[in-house]
């Protein structure tokens, strides 16, 4: 069998895509870091579901890499490798997706239950359908089509489904690389976890990431006598505004990246006092920083420290900060790397799009591979509804992405 037969088989997988997405969406694979749900069995349940599904469809070369985590039942977070042997066993085409998802957020913003798949024509809705089930399902459908048509790829095709991507990858790709690095220098690796609506963007570079936790500590008091306290909440609010100066300090623009500038956004806010009539003595918020590789993170940190000292002096509070995540940008993948050329050729063939190499602000698991000298790309054709209410994906995109995977696996 050849590429045309594999493509024809994938074209017939609409029902199979819906069926697999339905099973995946029903498993809330949430990290213990979110504090919900209490059992935290989602990743393990999802891997068991995938192993059974893959085995049923002729993909039996399966390996688990179990990362110890005492916070979850069973004490491990599973990572799964599924492999189809190719003619050349010395190289592998890798498709790496993640099994975990983010919480649904405000339930009243959803038009349907986020843990039950809803189908509207070409669109499917539910938490995780795009991030990252789209890439996961596309890889599975490509592998299934190869298995069912008896088509052997040019080299091995491996699907790697990792845990913990949404919360730092300590139990996911980072653990896999430390304990069982399965990658070889000539392997072709792509991560279907971001892209443009027309499929034209092939991500080869990422910004540095800093997630900063700020704590302002003052003196709690009754709200009717604010002079007896030091309002940590007010100081924190002024600190948020002051940190906006980072945009002016680090104002270089690089058109390769989308967006082309460094971003510094206040995000999560922790609760302080439970009642209205108390001056908070303690306040916590977070800043999400996506920084162009031009700037060393030490320089950004030094500027943040100066801003904090000014707030301390002005409001008589103490300001501490720590890092939830701090990753200097990895070296970019060369635009001439084989994986870039092969994905570009596949995108042109499947989607008739003119691909271009870009950099992004979002952090992906590709960064961990690039840091150890493994070229890889992030690519998918998607509308990028991830993390929002009513997250959705297009069935036609999943089928098209599966063809891209097959094209890369079968190309010389």
Q: Are residues 117 and 227 in the same domain?
A: no
The catalytic site residues sit at: 100, 165
pLDDT of residue 23: 98
Confidence of residue 291 (pLDDT cuts 50, 70, 90): very high
pLDDT at 363 (0 to 100) = 74
230 lies in the same domain as 263: yes
- What average pLDDT score do residues 59-82 get? 95
Residue 37 has pLDDT above 70, yes or no: no
**H or E stretch at 398:** helix 395-410
Rounded mean pLDDT, 136-150:
97
Q: What is the CATH number of the domain that holds 343?
A: 3.40.630.10
Q: What DSSP element (H or E) covers 237?
A: helix 232-243
What is the helix, strand, coil percentage profile of the chain, to 5? 35, 25, 40
User: Do residue 193 and residue 233 come from a single domain?
Assistant: no
Tokens 């150890």 appear where? 372
Q: How confident is the model at residue 36, as a pLDDT?
A: 65
Nearest to 75 by CA among 51, 40, 50: 40
In this structure, the answer to whether residues 226 and 314 fall within a common structural domain is yes
Chosen domain end from 327, 347, 379: 327
Q: Please report, to the nearest 10 degrees, the dihedral formed by the alpha carbons of residues 15, 131, 113, 110 taken in order.
A: -130
Residue 28, domain extent: 3-206+330-410
Do 29 and 108 reside in the same domain of the chain? yes
Q: How confident is the model at residue 17 (pLDDT cuts 50, 70, 90)?
A: very high
> How does the average pLDDT of the chain come out, rounded?
95
Please give the structure tokens belonging to residue 186.
């000539």
Burial class (CB in 10 A: 0-12, 13-18, 19+), 382: buried
Q: Are residues 229 and 104 in the same domain?
A: no
| Least confident among 38-47, 125-134, 254-263 | 38-47
Separation between Cα atoms, residue 338 and residue 37, nearest integer Å: 42
| pLDDT for the residue 40 | 72
**Any idea what the Cα angle at residue 269 is, between residues 266 and 275, rounded to 5°?**
145
Residue 259 shares a structural domain with residue 406? no
Residues 84 and 195 in one domain: yes
Q: What is the C-alpha to C-alpha distance for residues 398 and 13, in angstroms, rounded to an integer?
A: 10
pLDDT tens per residue across span 300-349: 999 999 999 999 999 999 999 999 989 899 989 999 999 999 999 999 99
State percent of the chain over pLDDT 70. Answer: 99
Are 292 and 347 contained in the same domain? Answer: no
70: pLDDT strictly greater than 80: yes
Mean pLDDT value of segment 96-121: 96
User: Where residue 38 falls among pLDDT bands split at 50, 70, 90?
Assistant: low
pLDDT tens sequence across 194-203: 999 999 999 9
pLDDT digits (tens, 9 = 90+) for 190-241: 999 999 999 999 999 999 999 999 999 999 999 999 999 999 999 999 999 9
Judged by DSSP in three states, 94 sits in: strand
- Summarised one tens digit per residue, pLDDT across range 274-286 is 999 999 999 999 9
Strand order in the sheet with 263-269: 263-269, 282-291, 208-217, 318-327
Residue 1: the pLDDT is 66
Shared domain check, 156 and 131: yes
Residue 362 has pLDDT above 80, yes or no: no
Q: Pick from 289, 306, 327: which residue ends a domain?
A: 327
Q: Which of 305, 327, 349 is the last residue of a domain?
A: 327
pLDDT digits (tens, 9 = 90+) for 43-59: 999 999 999 999 999 99
Of 99, 98, 96, the closest CA to residue 159 belongs to 96
- The domain that holds 251 is classified in CATH as 3.30.70.360
At 39 the pLDDT is: 65
Instruction: Mark whether 283 and 384 lie in a shared domain.
Output: no
**194 and 218 housed in the same domain:** no
Number of domains in the chain: 2
Average pLDDT on 7-33 reads 97
For the stretch 308-320, pLDDT in tens is 999 999 999 999 9
């Amino acid at each position: 069998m050849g590429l045309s037969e594999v493509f024809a088989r994938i074209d017939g997988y609409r029902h199979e895509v819906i069926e697999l997405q339905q099973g995946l969406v029903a498993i809330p694979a949430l990290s213990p870091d979110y504090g919900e749900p209490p059992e935290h069995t989602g990743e393990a349940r999802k891997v068991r579901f995938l192993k059974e599904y893959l085995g049923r469809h002729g993909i039996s070369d399966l390996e688990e890499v179990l990362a110890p985590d005492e916070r979850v039942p069973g004490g491990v977070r599973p990572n799964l490798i599924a492999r189809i042997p190719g003619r050349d066993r010395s190289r592998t085409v890798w498709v790496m997706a993640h099994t975990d998802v983010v919480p649904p957020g405000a339930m009243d913003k959803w038009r349907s239950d986020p843990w039950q798949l809803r189908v509207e024509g070409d669109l499917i809705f539910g938490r995780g359908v795009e991030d990252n089930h789209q890439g996961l399902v596309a890889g599975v459908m490509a592998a299934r089509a190869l298995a069912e048509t008896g088509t052997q790829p040019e080299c091995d095709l491996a699907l790697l489904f990792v845990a913990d991507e949404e919360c730092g990858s300590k139990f996911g790709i980072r653990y896999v690389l430390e304990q069982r690095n399965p990658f070889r220098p000539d392997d072709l690796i792509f991560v279907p976890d971001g892209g443009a609506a027309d499929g034209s963007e092939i991500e080869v570079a990422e910004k540095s990431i800093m997630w900063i936790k700020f704590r302002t500590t003052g003196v709690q008091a009754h709200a009717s006598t604010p002079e007896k306290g030091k309002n940590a909440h007010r100081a924190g609010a002024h600190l948020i505004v002051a940190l906006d100066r980072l945009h002016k300090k680090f104002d270089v623009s690089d058109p390769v990246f989308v967006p082309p500038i460094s971003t510094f956004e206040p995000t999560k806010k922790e609760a302080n006092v439970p009642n209205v009539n108390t001056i908070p003595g303690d306040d916590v918020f977070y800043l999400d920083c996506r920084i162009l590789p031009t700037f060393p993170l030490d320089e950004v940190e030094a500027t943040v420290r100066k801003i904090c000292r000014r707030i301390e002096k002005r409001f008589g509070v103490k300001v501490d900060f720590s890092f939830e995540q701090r990753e200097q940008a990895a070296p970019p993948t060369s635009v001439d790397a084989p994986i870039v050329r092969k994905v570009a050729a596949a995108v042109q063939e499947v989607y008739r799009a003119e691909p271009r190499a870009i950099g992004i602000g979002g952090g992906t698991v590709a960064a961990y591979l690039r840091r150890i000298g493994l070229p890889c790309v992030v690519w998918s054709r998607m509308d990028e509804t991830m993390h929002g209410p009513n997250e959705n994906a297009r069935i036609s995109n999943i089928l098209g992405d599966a063809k891209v995977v097959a094209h890369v696996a079968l190309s010389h």
